[in-house]
Structure 1
Amino acid sequence: MAKQKAETKANVAWQQIFDKYDILQHIQNEGVFSITADQIKPFYEPRLITKFDWSTSLPKLLKSNHLAILPTNRGTYSIAPFKAYKKLDVKIMKPTPMPLPDWIQTFDKFDITSEAVALNVAKATGMIDVIMNSPEEFPAVDTITGRIGSGDFNYNIAMRDNSIYNFTVKKAQVEIDAGFENIDSMAVIEAKSHIPDDFMIRQLYHPYRVYYDLGIDKPILPFYFTYADEVYNFYQYEFKDYNNYSSIQSVRQFSFIVDKTLNLNIDVVKEISAKSPMLPESNDFPYPQANTFPMVLDTIKYLDQPRDKYELAEQFSFNSRQSDYYANSVRFLGLATKEHGKYQLNELGRQVNALPNSNARNQLIIKQILSHITFKKAFDSYIRNFGEADDAYIEQVLGKYVPNISGSTIPRRVSTVKQWINWIFSVIV
């Protein structure tokens, strides 16, 4: 309930701020509204309602009016219809196994519960050198991390109507989760302990500009890093124009796992499908609406005790509607129940949760996925089509077997089915 109350208070505060300063009218007339921390403070603590790492975390008033808020300097912000976020295109891919040196014992004693520790593991196993293509004789070293001043710089940013706004930053605070340098390049990394739908581009662009403005003659490689379900994903980006916030483009994705190989035999999975009970889809809870299957798996560990959608949203730092999707997906897999608004693992869920990301655990999860008639039929169509999806067939299956589904809802659910089956193929050989 604390999360729900905080969301409500933040929404109320922004409504009061917008009313007092007639912000929507100012934006309509001038395009941008500048606001200070002192103006916000009478309504709410500024630092708590001015930083939104994901578009899903934006207050209702900003979201409904397609607005974003960006810092211009310490204590001053600009509100406008900026295109401030970038969708995180997650490719479900087989993670590359990386060995942890035998002499390192500390990581075995603790769960990895923070981005900082996950990055330490990534460095110790050589992941950082892989993504930076470090020569063996010149491994990457840690450089600038933490909070630093931005200095002064200008950049262009696209607005919702595709016009370009020239943005000025003066001595704003920049946070760098990790910085690395090898003989050929530098890397700046923004790290998260879950996989979001999108991210605030500023988290990569501001560190990138700080490095760029140092005048260093090496390429600067921006990475967005996520650690979820024991998988380390690095999403590499580039800015085609150093002076354009909106010129960000995806380059490639790297995926790693420590000290194990996910190589469940495909014949085992075919046998699971052949023995599927072909369970009918239920009206008791919604059909899955969670495209990022690793996040479904990551949700499992948070349901070891009863949690409502607001508590889950607080864990993942996204909105309660999204947390509801993921929790209901765990229910769909037959791993959790919902009572009095709270989700909790059942006996099978606790069994799965006790296992690491491994062939044994994944076999159990695949069995739960393919026990449903829609996923069994969709998976079998992949096998018939040599691993390729048949969208028209999956749409037909969903239309026939999922209660109360029609129209534009079907293609969205098809996307979820494909992502889940892609995950199956990512852990088998």
Structure 2
Amino acid sequence: MFDKHKIINKVLTNGHTVISSSTINEFREARLMTKFDHRSQLPKLFSDNNLSILPISRGEYVIGSFETFSSFNKDEIDISHIEFPSFLESLDYRNITSEATAINCAFVSKILHDFTEEDNLLPTVSGRMSSLSFDFGINSSKGLFKINVENSQVEIDGGYEGDNSLSLIEAKNYISDDFLIRQLYYPYKLWSNKIQKQVRPIFLTYTNGVFHLREYAFDDINHYNSLILVKHKKYVVQDGTFNIEILQEILERTKTVKEPEIPFPQANSFERVINLCELLNQKEFLTKEEITQNYDFADRQTDYYSNAGKYLGLLDIARDPITRQIGCQLTRQGKYIFNTNLIDRQKEFVKLIVSHSAFKKTLQLYLENGEIPNQNQIVEIMKGSKLYKIGAEKTYFRRASTITGWVNWIMNQLEE
């Protein structure tokens, strides 16, 4: 398509180009071809040439060197424990398989009420709707570029109105490094022009029992990139106890296993290991291509995190019997863990991690000294743990960051 319509030449000459859905449909369905929720999903032609694409009407898109994404903050924050209504049978917070269910759970458990500080909060708008007409400026390689939108499609996962504000929620049930600002900006722009109350864009991510809410604001209503983080907060449903005494008991009772003959993990975020397993628990089988295309994983990350799951015995690398494509599926042990309640699930993850010598000894040293061991100390522990095929010194140091990440994850699960 880029070759046929000389897209790059047009962008270099004019700073942008407009393309229709019907033109894209000649090659593949436009709705699928233009869905890039994260930087990692951009095709090579886009990323190599610093390009992005935005809808400007029901049937047209603009391509240019625009800054369309924003990175999530990575600040560590305390988790607030909340209670879930015990009388509900049709909604199970332990089995959230969609963004809609995550939002419903956040509403009925009063997470949204607490976060927005609105006591009278009611669901009002959601689903697909027309953007109507508006224009805005967006940062580009050639300065501020003006875009006019005319009846583009807007989708809102959940809209909740209180006495003082309308909260518009974009939800995801997987972890990502960044997000497409348009998913917040277009609904914000639409409803800011329609009502008098404050409009509050909120991004909700749900994984492994944790609801993470981030509220944003636009410093300039007419500037796409004027996004600022107002506040963020994490919530989890109280589901039992996990404290330092229980962790010590797990360390004492968990036997050390022989290191598997597979590469030592290179996957610093244990939350992402869990999230991949959650996705497999919902879908049963995902090809590596599906994981890379549909979630915020680069090709290399898909391999790293699937191999980490295999290292712990949570998932198997398998081949689809029909398409013959290579993918992942949960092991029997993985399926068992996801059938337990959330606190027991965390304990099972900890048992799997500390059954490996390098992680166990690092955690024990952490508990003895009250702080995470430094990289040199961890590398010395690794060298004495008979790890599979780690030869080069620099490889030890790269893999040590995985141990740091996973041990910190364990400590963050403990109640104060």
TM-score (norm 2): 0.85
Alignment pair present for 1:71 and 2:52: no
Tell me if structure 2 keeps the 8 A contact 1:155–1:245.
yes
Count of residues in Structure 1 that have an aligned counterpart in Structure 2: 404
Distance 1:410 1:396 in 2: 10
Alignment pair present for 1:299 and 2:280: no
Q: Deviations over 1:154-193 (max 9, x none)?
A: 222223x483222222221111111112122221110112
Q: Deviations over 1:219-243 (max 9, x none)?
A: 3221111222232221222222222
Secondary structure, aligned partner of 2:56: strand
Q: Deviations over 1:173-215 (max 9, x none)?
A: 1111111121222211101121222211100111111122225
- Cα deviation, residue 84, structure 1: 1.0
For 1:427, which of 400, 413, 416 is the aligned residue?
Answer: 413
Tell me if structure 2 keeps the 8 A contact 1:231–1:256.
yes
Secondary structure, aligned partner of 2:246: helix
Secondary structure, aligned partner of 1:297: helix
Q: Please, which runs of 5 or more residues in structure 1 have no aligned partner?
A: 1-16
Could you tell me which residue of structure 2 aligns to residue 267 of structure 1? 245
Could you tell me which residue of structure 2 aligns to residue 241 of structure 1? 220
Cα distance, 1:176–1:384 mapped onto 2, change above 3 Å: same
Tell me if structure 1 keeps the 8 A contact 2:19–2:62.
yes
Give the residue type in structure 1 aligned to 2:272: M
Tell me if structure 1 keeps the 8 A contact 2:217–2:228.
yes
- Cα deviation, residue 422, structure 1: 3.0
Tell me if structure 1 keeps the 8 A contact 2:15–2:142.
no
Q: Please, which runs of 5 or more residues in structure 2 have no aligned partner?
A: 320-325
Alignment pair present for 1:343 and 2:349: no
Secondary structure, aligned partner of 1:73: coil
For 1:310, which of 289, 292, 302 is the aligned residue?
Answer: 289
Distance 1:259 1:272 in 2: 21
Residues 111-130 of structure 1: matches in 2 within 5 Å?
111-130=95-114
Identity %: 30
Q: Deviations over 1:243-285 (max 9, x none)?
A: 2211222233222233524x31213323544667666866623
Could you tell me which residue of structure 2 aligns to residue 21 of structure 1? 5
Distance 1:391 1:269 in 2: 23
Could you tell me which residue of structure 2 aligns to residue 151 of structure 1? 132
Tell me if structure 2 keeps the 8 A contact 1:92–1:426.
no
Tell me if structure 2 keeps the 8 A contact 1:149–1:172.
yes
Cα distance, 1:116–1:49 mapped onto 2, change above 3 Å: same
RMSD: 3.1
Cα distance, 1:55–1:389 mapped onto 2, change above 3 Å: farther
Tell me if structure 1 keeps the 8 A contact 2:267–2:308.
yes
Give the residue type in structure 1 aligned to 2:105: V
- Cα deviation, residue 32, structure 1: 1.4
Tell me if structure 2 keeps the 8 A contact 1:265–1:428.
yes
Distance 2:306 2:230 in 1: 32
Tell me if structure 2 keeps the 8 A contact 1:86–1:198.
yes
Residues 24-423 of structure 1: matches in 2 within 5 Å?
24-90=8-74, 95-108=79-92, 111-135=95-119, 139-159=120-140, 161=141, 163-214=143-194, 216=196, 218-261=197-240, 263-273=241-251, 284-285=262-263, 287-291=265-269, 293-303=270-280, 305=284, 307-313=286-292, 316=295, 318=297, 320-339=299-318, 341-358=326-343, 360-387=344-371, 390=374, 393-394=377-378, 403-404=390-391, 410=397, 413=399, 416-423=402-409
Give the residue type in structure 2 aligned to 1:149: S
Tell me if structure 2 keeps the 8 A contact 1:158–1:246.
yes
TM-score (norm 1): 0.82
